[in-house]
Structures are given as structure tokens and as C-alpha cells.
Amino acid sequence: MAQNPRGLLQVLDEASTLTSSMNQYRGGKGSDRQWYMSAWSGEARIVDRKGNADNAPIHIPNQFLCVVGGMVPDMIGSLCDAKGRHEGFIDRILFTYPDPVPKTGWQEEGVPETVSAEWSELVRRLHARPLTVENLRTLPHIINFTPAGKTAWCAMIDASHAEQQSVDFPQSLVGPWSKLEQYAGRLTLILHLLRHASGSGVGQSIIPDVTAETVGDARRLLVYLKSHTRRIHEAMKAGARGEEGSEDVQSILKWILRHRKEAFSLRDLTRDLTRTFGKRAHALTEALDWLSNRDCIRAQAASEPNAKKARGRSKSRVYLVNPHLHESQNCQNHMPGHMTRQRPDQTGDFGDSATDDPGLDRTEDSDEIPF
């Protein structure tokens, strides 16, 4: 790292090996987790070992390490401390938990060459930018906000603080939210430099100040990443409680999300999932009860005005789908903690104040991502 002032990238095929390999040469008594946490914060580091060249200590003024990897959902818990302590390691991880990619058959098309070439050129321009040199030391550049950009930044942080002050904000998310606020600055910087490198000011030695538009784009990313952090934590809590839901439950959830159902009848469900529940009526009832008890769905009362009238045959029970089920967009971890604890009212509104960003303007034309 001392020889690479721009930092290092560690790419892991299986991210769970990051923690499983820690302290393996120290009998399990090392401080690898603490070192990764200090590297995340960019703290200066001095390495004074007997084998150093010229017996001189190695000084790293600005640590910069990026770790990238993927893992299967069942292995998420391996990132936690083995003794159950919450020291903040997992709070520093920026999670994404996307939907499974549908199987669409063999595809010849990949990333267009023009797109790949443009991205490569953008990265080359960024890497070609010189670092600041003072007293023979390389230092990072300092970038400021425009007045409007500073106002937008303050509004974003204030909205995040207001969200955490909500009476029903989960205590388990306090740590991740504090780290996401720091990620907001990093996201803003990345977007600003990408915009600068792709524009007409590529050759400028001085980078312009960060605008409100860039801060707004970073805010959208932050909202998106917060929703994925919620998914991860709910998946971990549900796994610890043994409440992941059976395969029957997951089949119904996938069916609801695939068809974007706001409501569905029992007849429609059994017709489309005949191979799963055709001769397993009791299993279907248990799965629907599981989802109802956790506020993922609820049975619609026959007296409600939007209940459909059947013609020529008996009415089929209709279920309303919690809107937050679609907002979370992931059928693999819709656990009870992710749904509101408050029972839905008679209007069909499920509501969950803890999942709304108080700083977002909910207008019809807003393109903010709800969560």
C-alpha cells in the first residue's frame, strides 16, 4: 500500500473468506478485523518490522483499500463477530441485495463494445490525473461544494438524522446509518469525478466545486443502498430466528412479485401454482397464514367495496398485498421485521413510517426511490 498511494483493490470470489481467513496465522488472536476497520476510515498507519528495507518503518499517511466480493444469502451471518459482539465491522460494508436474474435462455449479446470502450476511457482519464505533491509527499485533492451544493448536502444529512430520530427506527440500523452518511460523501465524490472526467473539463488541473445536482444523484444512491441494507439486516435477523419462510412461502412471494400483484384471489394463485399446491391444500393454507401473520398479505373482507363479485360460481377469497412488499423488490428476504408491526386499517393502507425518508418530497413526478 505504501507503493500505491492511490490505494489497493482486493477482489474476492467468495466474500465470506474475508472473515474466515482472518488471524489464521496468529492462532485466532490477531487484530485483522480491527485493521480492516481502520483502513476503512483511512487512518494513517506505521509498520515497524525487523524485515523492513533499511530497517526503516513504513509510513502510510492515507490508507485506501477497497474490498469487493459476493456471497450467497445464507453466508451473510459469517461476517458477524464470532462472539456475537457488535464492534462495527459489518456496519462498514456497503451491501447490495438485488433480485435474482430471470432465466431468459442463451444470449449472444453482451456489453456493447462502444460502452466498454467509453468506460475504459473514463477510467483511464481518472487514473491519469496527478496527485497533489507537497514536500515530496503525494496527497489527495481537496474539493469543495458550491453554495447550492452545500445546501443540498446539509439537507441530505439532516434528513438522515431526522429518519433516525423516528420512534420506530430500528436500533440495529443506527450503526449502518452512521456509516452510510460517510458513504454519502464518497458517493458524491465518485459521481462528481465521473462527471468531470466525462465532460469538457477533462484537462483542467483544478476540479470544479460539487454542485447540488451531483449531491442529489448521490442522495438517490444513498436511498437505494439504505433499502438494501434493510434487506440484509432483516435477512440476518430472520435467519437467527429461523423465520426465513418455507419453500411454499417463497413460491407465493415470487409469484406475487413476478406479476406485481396488488391483490389476488385464491383461485388465481392455485391456478398458476398448480404444480406446487394442486394436491397440497393444507400446505397452501399454512403458507398463506404465515404471510398473513407477518403482514405481507391480508384477507379482504367480503363487505369491502372493491371485492369482486363472482358470476356463476362461489366467490374466491381475495388477499391484499402489502405495498412495501413491492417497494423492497426482493422475494428472498421479506421477513416479518421488514413489514410494519401495525395491523393495516380498513382502507387497505399498511403504512410504515420507519421506511419513509422524511427528507424526500413525495410528489407525483418525484423519481426518488421509496423505502
pLDDT in tens, 257-284: 888 888 898 888 888 888 888 888 888 8
**pLDDT tens-digit series, residues 158-208:** 999 999 998 888 888 999 999 999 999 999 999 999 988 887 655 666 788
Q: Return the pLDDT at 146.
A: 95
Q: Return the pLDDT at 360.
A: 42
Q: What is the mean pLDDT of the chain?
A: 78
Q: Is the pLDDT of residue 332 over 60?
A: no
Instruction: Look at 43-57, 185-199, 340-354 and tell me which has the smallest mean pLDDT.
Output: 340-354
**Is the distance from CB of 255 to CB of 269 less than 8 angstroms?**
yes
Q: Is the pLDDT of residue 55 over 80?
A: no
Q: Return the pLDDT at 242.
A: 55
**Is the distance from CB of 273 to CB of 264 less than 8 angstroms?**
no
* Residue 149 pLDDT level (bands cut at 50, 70, 90): very high
Interior angle at CA 277, CA 273 and CA 281, nearest 5:
140
Q: Which residue has the higher pLDDT, 361 or 83?
A: 83
Q: Return the pLDDT at 83.
A: 72
Please provide the size of the chain in residues: 371
Q: What is the pTM of this model?
A: 0.65
Instruction: Look at 6-10, 186-190, 213-217 and tell me which has the smallest mean pLDDT.
Output: 6-10
pLDDT (mean) for 149-162: 95
pLDDT (mean) for 97-106: 80
- The strand pair at 318-321 and 297-299 is best described as antiparallel
Instruction: Look at 8-12, 137-141, 198-202, 314-318 and tell me which has the smallest mean pLDDT.
Output: 198-202
Q: Could you tell me the domains of the chain? A: 1-93 (no CATH), 94-100+122-243 (no CATH), 247-334 (1.10.10.10)
Residue 334, all three cell numbers:
421479506
Return the closest-CA partner of residue 226 out of 151, 295, 164, 158: 164
* Residue 328 pLDDT level (bands cut at 50, 70, 90): low
235 by Cβ neighbours in 10 Å (0-12 / 13-18 / 19+) ranks as buried
**Is the distance from CB of 190 to CB of 232 less than 8 angstroms?**
no
